[in-house]
Structure 1
């Protein structure tokens, strides 16, 4: 099959992107015909490669030459298929256009169904989906592919000649190999990915290696399973004797479960080091290749080493949470609303998430505030580039944060609240709605429906289908390694962190299909009302709104610097 989403769904997604991205590219190429900002460096380096000059290198460029090699291949194909040989920056921008319209949706259309299949195996939903021939789930997955491709910090660069789009594609190729278990292909794709951006090593080696290790060790020996709510001693003994990782679902987990899982992983590795080594060998090869490059180069970056020195910037792990919350506001609103508004004050249709407040959680909350305040006070790094360039939105955000001496401390609770919402969302959407309304919609008279209708004051909770604690730990570790080492705060640096968070965000909600007297038509109707996540529509509208606003600011709200009269400066991420 051409795409795991199905030809029809994939065609619709591609056509939508084709129209939207084509308009964006045409507007940019019409308004901004000369290379802008970092495009200047990338464009001139690409011209050298297209002239078969592979030895000359601009010392201001920090990333490896993957973009220019891909441009060389793309231009060669263009000459063969279209007879075009132009090297204007407006033509080079078509590389990211083609990736955004064709390559990214195709690859995401392969990845998301595989993640959904894992969900089916875990929660045994395939029998429900088969009744509608997978129609609506595929539509929801296709809608998710469309939304991810419209993600504003990524969408913006479909019409500019930057590295971010091709770099994201290269990491997703490695992830696809990881999901399919193709270890040799994974190593090759991982090495290719390092030619686009050095920080890809964290996602290709640490993130995917960690997931692979956890997935393999979760099986344990002789089918061992932990009892409900085990003690720390039970987890330690189980991990050592049976090499079995303790892994609770995010929805059910308390803070102590995160600590237990971390200890469990460490002990399971120590108890079977050779097994762990065999599992992560492909990722060790990637780390070895990257380490060899750093030793040979004398630095992580190729050029401009003085302005790109790796440092410990812990505040980056505070900034990532409002970043995720802002862009994923439509997907996180149930947790944001239910976290501050009492359930009794909300309509039944909006009671999604029950906030469980434990004494441990209160202690952890205050501990987070204390640590975060210390990080803000002692480790807030403002790179000279941030406050020297008013063309980027981060300039204005940091100027606001630093305008008042106490403001940067007052927003710390916001970081914590956003973090709770983003992590809780990975546990799935717990609905307390009365799904017995299906009886009224379908006219299905069942004993179960009668009981549900008679207990509307106590509607049944629907168990979420979310991620486990170990995924959160691996994702957090990788995000920290990727961001904490960067002194410069840029939205582009967080694209992959958001992407892997969003890929794992549960979208298809628990089904409430009738058990007796049902038919395909009624089940399809129930599936649409209970399983299709209507937040996807809000997410599409939100992303399009942001893209229109940022696009308008970039194209039509340019300004001039006094020291550079006649040169239009434009706002961008």
Structure 2
């Protein structure tokens, strides 16, 4: 219980400080908090057209706040009470991350269990998700539900997993991709038992011939599913997830698209460079596990052995940087986000954009290498990366919050055999959290049309 107690005490103190510094709704809270308060007052048919996500957070917050109405009506659905909901969600995420880590990597040994507890504690402090647990945003609740669904999936509790996945979609529509990921996780586990898939996975040529691998894996999958017994087994396992997908498909038809409200500001594009940003993002936050002398030595060896493959990857990445980079109007208009400064000092300079190319290439390679077999097979990695692409590339807005779930799901699958690396990761997260909170508390931004000082956030 030590990690949990430390986490709750620190989070409660920081939540108190955030509420003291910013007592009124702030940035996106100006939409979420009034909408929730309408529900608290029984006005369930009023809806702010600027809100783009479903009302799952609002209903959940209303239910969690009901005791305050009974025992302390003055605080019922107030700003501080609603923000506290996300502190609660993030505390649940701490427990889930510990259990997921042990489920994937643990063994029946005390040291593995303690290592899983430490890793879960570190990941619960992951700066992006941790920071937003002090504001009333959809991310902490969305993350918690997907993690809960993933844990149930790993334990083969597929009906529970699908139900939790459906609840997560009620927080953020794009979580439907992670419902598909959960179904894919089941299918891949079953498929890799087949001899044809095993042969492809273990082929020495696969790593150097991606096109051949893709063709062969698709052919083997089709062959596997053409066996009626295999198909029936797969359908029996994944039907709960497919039911959620079918419900979502009905929503798409009825809603005439995925976005709720303000559609003009959320038009889907092919923003290919987003995946490169994700590689760099992951490389930074998982650097204790992805950057080392041995990793760099292996990377140089891989470059020498497969120059044509890396040349091909470089051409694709250059195309993304040159032709598939977009700057959303929101990014240029709001200096309260780090991405505003990222755009001003980095993305606006073409030389710097291309100078980061080696980092992108190394980041993608290191992620692939770190997800070691046999738990993360080539098929699993392909399936996971497709889900990352689906959640990031259609987004025109560069928003680091979109990387929270892909990062955490990737990170819990990274095998960590050295406790000192987890400690180093914990230190990194703590330093980043300290810096971002210091800037938030001490570096106000003045907006001429808003009396209250504004603050800089992710």
Whole-Å separation in 2 of the counterparts to 1:31 and 1:354: 46
C-alpha separation in 2, matches of 1:160 and 1:406: 36
Report how far residue 487 of structure 1 moved: 0.8
**CA shift at 1:385, angstroms?**
0.7
Do residues 551 (structure 1) and 437 (structure 2) align? yes
Normalising by structure 1, what TM-score?
A: 0.74
Say yes or no: does 1:303 pair with 2:277.
no
The answer (yes or no) to whether the contact 1:391–1:569 under 8 Å persists in 2 is: yes
Instruction: From 108, 112, 115, give the equivalent of 1:140.
Output: 115
CA deviation vs aligned residue, 1:18-48 (integer Å, no higher than 9, x gap)? 1221221011011111111111111100101
- Give 1:293 deviation, angstroms: 0.6
Question: In 2 relative to 1, CA 253–401 (structure 1 residues): closer, same or farther, beyond 3 Å?
Answer: farther
**2:378: which partner in 1?**
469
Name the CA shift for 1:360/1:468 in 2 (closer, same or farther; >3 Å): same
| 1:491-513 Cα shifts (integer Å, max 9, x gaps) | 10010110111110101x2xxxx
Contact 1:466-1:505 at 8 Å conserved across structures: no
Cα deviation for residue 263 of structure 1 reads 3.1
Aligned to 2:201, the other structure's residue is in SS state coil
The alpha carbon displacement at 1:425 in A equals 1.9
Alignment CA distance shift 1:268-1:284 (3 Å):
farther
- In 1, Cα distance between equivalents of 2:112 and 2:386: 31
Q: CA RMSD in A?
A: 2.3
Indicate the structure with greater helix content. 2
Match of 1:566 among 448, 451, 455: 451
Give the alignment partner of residue 395 of structure 2, picking from 473, 477, 486: 486
What is residue 418 of structure 1 aligned with on the other side? Answer: 363
Deviation at 1:253, TM superposition (A): 8.2
What is the match of residue 426 of structure 2? 540
2:406 corresponds to which of 497, 504, 528: 497
For 2:294, the equivalent position in structure 1 comes to 338
TM-score by length of 2: 0.92
User: Contact (CA 8 Å) 1:560, 1:569: kept in 2 or not?
Assistant: yes
Give unmatched runs, 5+ long, in structure 1: 1-10, 121-125, 127-133, 225-237, 343-352, 429-464, 510-531
The answer (yes or no) to whether the contact 1:167–1:196 under 8 Å persists in 2 is yes
Partner of 2:247: 289
Match status 1:159 vs 2:134: yes
Whole-angstrom distance in 1 between the partners of 2:202 and 2:453: 54
Where does residue 247 of structure 1 map in the other structure?
A: 201
In the alignment, which residue of structure 1 is the partner of 2:308? 363
Q: Supply the distance in 2 between the matched residues of 1:319 and 1:91 (Cα, whole angstroms).
A: 35
Q: Which residues of structure 2 form unaligned runs of 5+?
A: none
Tell me which residue corresponds to 1:62: 52
Q: Secondary structure at the match of 1:186?
A: helix
- The answer on whether the counterparts of 1:262 and 1:473 sit within 8 Å (CA) in structure 2 is no
SS of structure 2 residue aligned to 1:560:
strand
> Which of 10, 18, 22 matches 1:28?
18
Cα distance change on mapping 1:338 and 1:28 into 2, 3 Å: same
5 Å matches for 1:112-127?
112-117=101-106
Change (3 A) 1:21 1:261: farther
